[in-house]
Chain A
């Protein structure tokens, strides 16, 4: 049978039994006891439970790092790719298969160092996928080297007398990258984490969450200033409700890029919540539109007939 010009894939299995945490659990995580990543995994299970996607349509992906072991702990289709390139890998999946729900997990080294360039381009092109950066300010898998988010003065095996390089401000980088959904959350705040994941999933386009997740082994106490039980303060962003009240004036407008940038500039530990959210045509839609236009010119010709035409022009 000659293939036709359109490739159609079923939207997913009919709802069968409920997708539970039990069904989503795979190998027991290899993380150190007390690692912040356990809570992120748990929040992800619960978010998936809430959404009830067809099981086979969920894809969990990662690059390299402690947090990037994630796909082994989630029982979905998954891929463990190379260091820093999980976003392009995920972009390819998202683009070729718009029927899938694509989730990418990784750390600060994967996202901001090795994969820094890919983060910018995935964001500006607005591929439809969700990316969670589990930021611990240190390289854990390789046992305590400086990371792109390590604060100045941080003593590591590669900076024994303290880091001298200005760290990346993730929120500033993300706002300037053109990402269409940008949030910041904390592994010790499960409810907030789930709320951010939830909104990221609802967002059509590239949604990215920086989640502070403590490395108890190599940078304990890194996030104490943002943890109430360690004497710190967890300050969330109040978003505009457009209720017309005077106090709404001072609330944050997630459509306001400059305001988002100013929030990102606040002194450590800063604030948590949705910094920026905007609807912009996704790469997936743009490419699909190209396809629609190209096919419109060819009526309902089959692939074979279109290729025949190309050859006949070369005679």
Chain B
């Protein structure tokens, strides 16, 4: 392709004289990229996240991609640091703006004293605004020049990566390794162009304009000694399912669930299974239930509206007692709602959706690493209690990249094979004395009587019955196995103080901001703690004892306060534990919680008797 014809197009990338520049040591930095979705800015974030993962830096990213396939505003925010990074950061230290509108929309998210890096070919910032430092570069022009003039808009992202590498003194060797891994398979030309764009960005003397460069604090090497892996929540869920022994499944595309089904479609055939695309959500769960009945741990999933469509079959799974994993990557609802924003408004649907008394298990992962481990937990529960298990992830977790210790796979891998051991004469498919353990088809029934799994109310041998006593007994059987699980969950960890003034309760992706809020409260000398609920249904036995040790219990969730003034989990906790200290901090703007929003919720509620604090009190 475009081999460099002029040696000046290949500037040296490793020897930059910085003797005249000031070194500024920082512990972490929040960098926001704002462009259009075709600019590939997510891949800058991906590179930075993985670089940080390889450098023993905790990393967290925050990303939005619009629902339109191409065009429309797109942002990606990455927070890199050497300490424990808990949230994506409320406002940015650096803003990279590709266009005038990206500059205008995001400049208010830049901290005072923050750095605006902008494409001078497209952006004219108001440099009279003295709050910020301005670094303009002809990102478009220089990229085209570096790639030989026909590159159009491609490569600008890699140029920016080069630019940032210089400003932050990043490890160029490692970044180029990552680029080779990412682009090497796509042909030498692509890889060479990437290097050219990177070098052009690295050659641009942005550090001179700033008069300084930044250096992340050196910290002791990661104590665990394990290599770090970087991935997004949907990737972690996918890999967790495989480790859990899931080999089959079916789904239907919907944002933001689709990337899980795409990955399973590619991955499962390698493991002797498959994942297929069904004609609709109803077929997807029905096919998956067929796979589950046939003896494999199987998975289906969707996002909110798709889960609604699966509800009838989910009721069957509760009645027939079939192990099943269902993933719901929540988005803003109801209906088509906000397909590319985050919300935690499907909790009630997850616990109570479907018809009749249809108990099932609901779990929520707290961060990307937990997406991996929660899939294993879901698999363990589904098998042990022969029940459907819903994993409530969300859009924010699905798309953000975090680094974490590589799991011990040898220890964790589960055997996927169906249990086809012949069943003895006394086998009962719905034994009242023990938890149901089905005999999948292919199992020899030594008594000669073959079982039918059924959605009709049934007796112990699976015969349909409308006997009143039997319906009571079977309803209790389905309920009591989940009560047994509640006792089996173990102690819930309390972060921070174990008694005192304020307890923050959360679930799902709000883990980071809630923890950081607790840290800040305690830094001010307050007695504050938090619990993060892994198990939402059944709730862990004894959790109410934690609540009773605090004066205030504030449940922080991204859903509406509802008609009665409580968010979805808060309403459930109040109903279960009748504890008047339980109140709500909610919000419905489709964005993740900022630490400052949680803290102002705490301030407002503490001095007031109202039920709820919403980030938007005028609503």
Q: Do A and B come from one complex?
A: yes
What is A's interface to B at a CB cutoff of 8 Å?
1-3, 5-7, 9-10, 12-13, 23, 26-27, 55-59, 71-72, 75-82, 85, 88-97, 99-100, 117-118, 120-121, 283, 287, 290-291, 293-295, 297-298, 303-304, 306-308, 310-311, 313-315
Chain A nearest CB: distance from B289 CB in Å? 6
Known A3-B415, A7-B272, A298-B270; contact A92-B288, beta-carbon cutoff 8 A: yes
**Main secondary structure on B side of the interface with A:** mixed
Beyond contacts A56-B444, A96-B291: 10 other A-B pairs, Cβ-Cβ < 8 A, are A9-B418, A72-B463, A78-B450, A92-B291, A117-B283, A118-B283, A283-B276, A304-B410, A304-B413, A306-B271
16 CB contacts below 8 A, A to B, read A3-B414, A56-B442, A78-B453, A82-B286, A82-B313, A85-B282, A85-B313, A89-B286, A92-B287, A95-B287, A120-B279, A283-B276, A290-B269, A307-B243, A314-B235, A315-B228
Taking a contact as CB atoms closer than 8 A, the residue among B284, B410, B442, B452 that contacts A72 in the complex is B452
Q: Are A92 and B286 in contact (CB under 8 A)?
A: yes
Which residues of chain A are within 8 angstroms of B213 by Cβ–Cβ distance? none
Roughly how many angstroms separate A280 CA and B185 CA in the complex, as a whole number? 36
Q: What bracket does the count of chain B residues touching chain A fall in?
A: 35 or more
The answer to whether A307 touches B229 (Cβ under 8 A) is no
Q: Which of A3, A77, A293, A315 has the most CB of B within 10 A?
A: A77
- A307 and B286 in contact, given A92-B298, A315-B227 (Cβ under 8 angstroms): no
Q: For A90, list chain B residues within 8 Å (CB).
A: 290
Assembled-state Cα–Cα distance A76/B280 (Å): 29
CA distance A153 to B163 in the complex (A): 77
Which of B227, B452, B453 gathers most chain A CB within 10 Å?
B452
How far does the Cβ of B232 sit from chain A's closest Cβ, in whole Å? 10
**Residues 416-458 of chain B, each 1 if its beta carbon lies under 8 Å from chain A, else 0:** 1110100000000000000000011111110011111111100
Chain A residues with CB under 8 Å of B452's CB are 71-72, 77-80
Contact A315 B451 (CB under 8 A): no
Residues of A within 8 A of B53 (CB): 314-315
Q: With A and B bound together, what is the CA distance between A23 and B235 in angstroms?
A: 49
Knowing A77-B450, A92-B291, A96-B294, the reply to whether A85 touches B286 (Cβ < 8 A) is yes
A82–B316 CB distance below 8 A = yes
Q: Assess whether B227 is in contact with A7, with CB atoms less than 8 Å apart.
A: no
For residue B288, which residues in chain A have a CB less than 8 angstroms away from its CB? 92
When each residue 3-21 of chain B gets 1 if its CB lies under 8 Å from chain A and 0 otherwise, what string results? 0000000000000000000
A314 to B238 alpha-carbon distance, docked (Å): 13
Q: Taking the nearest CB of chain A, how far is it from the CB of B618, in angstroms? A: 44
Tell me which residues across on chain B come within 8 A of A59, comparing CB atoms.
441
Q: Which residue of A lies closest to B250 (CB)?
A: A92
Q: Which of A6, A13, A304, A310 has the most CB of B within 10 A?
A: A310
B273 contacts A by Cβ under 8 Å:
yes
Q: CB-nearest residue of chain B relative to A76?
A: B450
Bound-state CA distance A13–B446 (Å) is 12
Q: Is the CB of B181 within 8 A of A313?
A: yes
Contacts A81-B455, A121-B279, A304-B413 given: A315-B406 contact, CB under 8 Å? yes
Residues of A within 8 A of B228 (CB): 315
Decide yes or no whether B248 CB sits under 8 A from chain A.
Answer: yes
Question: What 5 A-B pairs come out closest when comparing CB atoms?
Answer: A92-B290, A88-B286, A77-B441, A92-B287, A294-B269
Q: Cβ of B270 and Cβ of A5 under 8 Å apart?
A: yes
Closest Cβ of chain B to A66, distance in Å, is 13
Cβ-based interface call for B247 (8 A): yes
Answer whether A75 and B450 are a contact pair too, CB < 8 Å, given A7-B416, A92-B294.
yes
Q: Which residue of A has the minimal Cβ distance to B415?
A: A3
Instruction: Let me know if B271 and A303 touch, CB within 8 A.
Output: yes
Residue among B284, B313, B444 making CB contact with A13, cutoff 8 Å: B444
A1 CA to B410 CA, complexed, in Å: 9
Hey, which chain A residues are within 8 Å of B312, CB to CB? 82
The docked-state distance in angstroms from the alpha carbon of A306 to that of B266 is 13
Instruction: Considering the complex, give the chain A residue whose CB is closest to the CB of B416.
Output: A3
What 1/0 flags go to B285-309 for Cβ under 8 Å of A? Answer: 0111111111110100000000000
Contact yes or no, A311 B274, CB < 8 A: no
